[in-house]
Chain A
């Protein structure tokens, strides 16, 4: 376990290093207009050159990279140029991280609970109405682009249930729609997985034995099938985190949530290079961390490791 974790940590660190370096180098290929801020047409060539020099963009590449890493290690993510001129990115982010974090965690929780519930429901009514409805839901969510169904959810649920159309921190009702929308994708994944697992498992010998002992169907489900099903569930968690991150880009923009996802889109549209760079780095780091934790969780949940523990305690 320890060896596996160490190897996995090294792998993640290497990935992070490659991603950061590549992102930094690619960003240097961007057109330089992004560095002059508003009123760039009034500057002549010499002034532009001076600005670029002051940002250190005329230094040799290895020096730029070295400076970048040393400031990154000090927690300095750079300074915004256009979005909020001359304000450090970390200051801009400070007020925004929490919205994204809360929404993301809430939607992961919601999708886990609802997705597993739906999967169990579908496997219990296999081939009947619930199963068919669930299948339609899974197909639609998987096939139709998220941007499209998010739009329709915002358009119609706000009318039907009289929910606020935009996000407002002080109104808890306005949190419902963004969280639910963000959960839909991973929910479909969990439901699909859970259904398949339960259906496969129902034909196995230990279930038939449990039934032959005279256990009630619900008891078999709770004590045997579900306990086994939860263990490999961890496998899907990393993907779920990635889906949530991608979802947050749309959702925060759509509901005007002042989080990081909406900020990235703003920064892209205004071509604020340092801000885009910082946000892309943060998103990569978060996903790499998420994948790492998911894999670790899976290794922890592995039944063989559990067996070892039981053996030791006896």
Chain B
């Protein structure tokens, strides 16, 4: 008997700012939609543990898509993308998620993103909070300057090697070796997009003066950061989270910047805690 995953992969076509994308997504589960964004230069296999977690999928409809230019989601079908530099902006990235949810008829999902996906979760909460039941930013910062560097596309540095190798120590040394190597393997497939992803991560994303305007009553926010995450250290995340009224912060012991990919068994207990907070806040908010 062949062993099949319960996750099903499909393509859906969406329109974002006149650009047409055929978006690949993996989906498994039922109930509350939980839409997941992978990290920069990677793809939705970072969520493989979550997609197979029956305790989650019996209550949540887990949907993990590949952002355009990543994984199996190609660059736009109706545009000469090869004649233009790829530079992801906060506005386009946000619209991508909104149009994707529209296409799947998903209303007010929980949005979870890691690394630059975590930064996007903050953008969505700030500017589109009414569209989400909650956001769960992982390894996110209000501002992450300094990483949009030419070295990531310098041919002397071999970007397909340099980018994944640089991810290594963003993960916790205790995380399983196999999963950390897989994180590098996935990143090596998206090295061409990494520099453009970092335009969003390090340049266009800056919410330092907007944190107090995030309405966590409309869109509850549970931020998570691993103790080994030097890109979004727990102390720094907790500090900016204090400026978001009503936000909740969870420190994840012994995890790094990509917890769902590097050590899902350790990450899931924090995720279950975060989902409990969302349920509680939704009940309280409904009263």
Asked whether A and B interact, the reply is no
A residues at B contact (CB < 8 Å): none
